[in-house]
């Protein structure tokens, strides 16, 4: 069944560029957001996003500062619900096929396609593991984009299950290195029947592993050591919804970042756990509000900041330079929740998402590079290109603001 589904996914991804209505009806303002999952390419030249087209989500790829028509990548049967750049020439598109499996009813059935948006050359990841892939509701989680190796990514998959001498062995969480061009996966590291999660460093190296053991239900964290073995550094009670709430690896790569409810008055705080010995220290706490969410670097996955909610979501970076950028963004969008959701590798261009009680979700590309007036020596304010999130929205480029194609 999955082989047919995979073929359908690949056959349905193709390029079109239809004209879309510039002025939607009033009813459209009650519809779902027309733009989501906005992501800028590593080189900062293109933006990919999910858009609505005739009531269906499609992936659109726009070239910034160009009159080039957008490339639209639709899929007719499943639902596209995620898109991200793997490198400057490859997108990872996640599709939910909502399959009816093994008499259990309808389940989410996520599969990911690696596709070149220019040539429409696409392939399903884990292309050489059809049987193992069929044991997974999701074959789409990316643990590491490994931008130091732009031709590969790292993904976990439950694999290796089956019968041996009438004895059934369940599949276990296993880490694979996936080639983007052909989707083929190569074994890297195998967990055990209790393993449910992994952490990598953003450069293709394993850092930590999470296991959960029964009777009593207990969470365990193992650190990957220099001699390529696993060392348990922490464990905790996981009953009644407890357990470790790990967000990811710290910016310096020496600790894990996790949330705990141990602040004053039971407020949520961010803690760092040393990978060397499991010792914890407070990393961030807000004097009034719970710090429960986190901001991860879009390329390395490392945790760079904490998210808390006052009257709307706010972001606090741990690094002073990034926090200064955040203060400038908030000053530019006063009265709104505003924070970056994507940036290029050089952090020259940033995609900012905004939202507010009286403002629908909107997205902007900020060019943070200072430019100067000719001969004046004065620094101009950063350029801002809005990508509005609903109904008749447009991408606006400095050279063609009044002529931008409607989205």
The model's pLDDT over 41-74, given as tens digits with 9 standing for 90+, comes to: 999 999 999 988 888 889 999 998 888 888 988 8
Query: Quick check: is 11 in a domain?
Result: yes
Beta-carbon contacts of 405 under 8 Å, excluding residues fewer than 6 positions away, are 20, 69, 70, 394, 395
Beta partners for residue 337, in sequence order:
355
**Per-residue b or e along 179-201, where b marks 16 or more CB atoms closer than 10 Å to that residue's CB:** bbeebbbeebbebeeebebbbbb
Strands (E), 138-184: 138-139, 152-159, 162-164, 167-169, 172-179
Can you give the pLDDT at residue 370? 66
pTM here is: 0.84
Look at residue 180 and tell me if it is in a domain: no
Q: Which domain holds residue 47?
A: 1-118+337-407
* Total count of domains within the chain: 1
- In which residue ranges of the chain is pLDDT below 70? 1-33, 101-102, 262-264, 370-407
pLDDT for the residue 282: 93
Each residue's pLDDT tens digit, 109-151? 899 999 999 999 999 999 999 889 888 889 999 999 999 999 9
Residue 99, in any domain of the structure: yes
* Beta pairing, strands 162-164 & 138-139: unpaired
Residue 347 lies in a domain: yes
In a domain, 236, yes or no: no
Whole-number pLDDT of residue 405: 22
pLDDT of residue 356: 84
As a whole number of angstroms, the distance between CA 257 and CA 255 comes to 7
Task: Return d(Cα 248, Cα 304) in angstroms, integer.
Answer: 10
* Burial status of residue 253 (CB atoms within 10 A of its CB: 0-12, 13-18, 19 or more): middle
Q: How far is CA 173 from the centre of its chain?
A: 20
Whether 251 maps to a domain, the answer reads no
Within 99-225, residue ranges assigned H as helices are 130-133
Does residue 44 lie within any of the structural domains? yes
**244 lies in a domain?**
no
Q: What is the token pair recorded at 103?
A: 């008499």
């Amino acid at each position: 069944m999955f082989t047919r589904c995979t073929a359908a996914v690949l056959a349905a991804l193709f390029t079109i560029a239809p004209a879309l209505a510039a002025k939607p009806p009033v009813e459209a303002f009650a519809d779902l957001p027309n733009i989501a999952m906005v992501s800028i390419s590593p080189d900062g030249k293109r933006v990919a996003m999910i858009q609505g087209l005739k009531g269906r989500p499609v992936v659109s790829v726009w070239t910034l500062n160009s009159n080039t028509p957008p490339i639209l990548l639709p899929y007719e049967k499943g639902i596209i619900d995620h898109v991200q750049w793997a490198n400057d020439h490859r997108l990872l598109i996640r599709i939910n096929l909502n399959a009816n499996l093994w008499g259990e009813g309808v389940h989410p059935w996520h599969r990911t396609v690696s596709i070149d948006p220019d040539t429409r050359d696409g392939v399903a990841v884990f292309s050489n593991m059809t049987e193992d892939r069929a044991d997974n509701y999701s074959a789409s989680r990316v643990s590491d984009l490994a931008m130091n190796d732009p031709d590969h990514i790292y993904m976990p998959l439950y694999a290796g299950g089956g019968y041996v001498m009438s004895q059934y062995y369940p599949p276990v969480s296993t880490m694979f290195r996936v080639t983007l061009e052909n989707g083929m996966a190569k074994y890297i590291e195998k967990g055990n029947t209790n393993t449910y999660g992994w952490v990598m460093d953003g450069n293709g190296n394993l850092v930590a592993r999470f296991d959960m053991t029964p009777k009593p239900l207990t969470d365990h964290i193992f650190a990957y050591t220099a001699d390529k073995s696993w060392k348990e550094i922490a464990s905790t009670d996981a009953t009644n919804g407890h357990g470790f709430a790990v967000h990811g690896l710290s910016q310096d790569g020496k600790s894990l970042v996790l949330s705990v409810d141990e602040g004053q008055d039971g407020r949520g705080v961010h803690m760092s756990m040393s990978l060397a010995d499991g010792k914890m220290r407070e990393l961030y706490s807000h004097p009034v509000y719970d710090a429960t969410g986190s901001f991860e670097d879009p390329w390395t996955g490392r945790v760079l900041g904490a998210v808390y909610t006052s009257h709307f979501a706010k972001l606090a970076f741990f690094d002073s330079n990034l926090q200064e950028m955040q203060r400038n963004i908030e000053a530019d969008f006063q009265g709104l929740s505003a924070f970056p959701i994507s940036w290029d590798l050089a952090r020259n261009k940033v995609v900012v998402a905004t939202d507010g009680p009286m403002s629908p979700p909107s997205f902007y590309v900020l060019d943070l590079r200072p430019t100067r007036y000719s001969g004046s020596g004065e620094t101009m304010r950063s350029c801002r290109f809005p990508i509005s999130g609903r109904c008749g929205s447009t991408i606006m480029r400095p050279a063609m603001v009044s002529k931008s194609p409607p989205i």
